[in-house]
Amino acid sequence: MLTLCLDTSHKYLSVSIIKDQRILASYDELCFKKQSESVFPVILKVVQDAKIKKEEIDSVCISIGPGSYTGLRIALTIAKVMCSMKRLDLYVISTLKLYANNMKNTYVMLDARGNRIYHALYDQGKVIIEEHVTTIDELNLDRSYHLVGDASLLGLEDQYECISECFLNTKADWEKVDSIHTLIPSYLKSDQEYIKS
């Protein structure tokens, strides 16, 4: 299976081609609020680097949120168009679970704007604390956890794994989408909350 993996949900633009248990080519760069203008040239470059034809891609996997309201829709729109036109399989994975990278005792936190954060706790792919959104002040974090994401919100250094490798390492957790046309991102916030933040 040749899978195009896309993450435009947060600060990074991640594009990769995965074949079975190998990454053939990838791009992972900080691209906050610039994903829409960069994503198509990057996809073409990654396909070229993978030494395949775009027609050979038979599935797409995207991070489905939570994350940036606009960013989430970039990958989702591309995936819907590709999968509908070419009848490809579509897979999704939670952004937080993706970033946890199947590691032990990993707490993922992302900036949700407005002094709030998206966060969840995982242990090797198992959900320990469900993903939710709270204010930063409400977070009571055990510092013994491995912290991934926007740790700068706590006065620490941001920590991110290579997102393309995260797609590969969490492949067992990809969820196949049965109804592509009705698929919506996982926002965790209402439209009005996004507007306010």
Model pLDDT for residues 14-24, shown as the tens digit of each residue: 999 999 999 99
What's the whole-number mean pLDDT along residues 144-168? 95
The pLDDT of residue 144: 85
What's the whole-number mean pLDDT along residues 45-73? 97
The pLDDT of residue 191: 47
Q: Please state, in angstroms and as integers, the Cα–Cα distance from residue 63 to each residue in 14, 137, 174, following that order.
A: 10, 27, 9
**Strands 89-93 and 59-63, sheet pairing:** parallel
Domains of the chain: 2-95+163-196 (3.30.420.40), 96-154 (3.30.420.200)
Give the residue among 28, 33, 31, 9 at the shortest CA–CA distance from 17: 28
Backbone angles phi, psi at 124, to 5 degrees: 50, 50
Q: Please state, in angstroms and as integers, the Cα–Cα distance from residue 125 to each residue in 4, 33, 38, 51, 106, following that order.
A: 22, 29, 30, 31, 9
Could you give the maximum distance between any two Cα atoms of the chain, in Å?
49
Question: Residue 194 above 80 pLDDT?
Answer: no
What's the whole-number mean pLDDT along residues 44-65? 98
Q: Please state, in angstroms and as integers, the Cα–Cα distance from residue 34 to each residue in 4, 43, 106, following that order.
A: 20, 14, 28
Which one-letter amino acid corresponds to residue 79? A
63-95 pLDDT, tens digit per residue, is 999 999 999 999 999 999 999 999 999 999 999
99-116 pLDDT, tens digit per residue, is 999 999 999 999 999 999
Q: Report the percentage of the chain scoring pLDDT > 70.
A: 96
Average pLDDT, the chain: 94
> Rg of the chain over CA atoms, in angstroms?
16
**Of 196 and 42, the one with more pLDDT:** 42
- Both tokens of residue 5? 């993996």
Q: Report the percentage of the chain scoring pLDDT > 90.
A: 89
Least confident span in 40-49, 52-61, 142-151? 142-151
Residues with Cβ within 8 Å of 48's Cβ and at least 6 positions away in sequence, in order, are 25
Question: Residue 195 above 80 pLDDT?
Answer: no
Contact 111, 189 (CB under 8 A): no
Give the residue among 148, 161, 147, 97 at the shortest CA–CA distance from 125: 97
pTM here is 0.94
Evaluate the CA torsion angle 112, 120, 149, 17 in order and state its sign. Answer: negative
The pLDDT of residue 165: 99
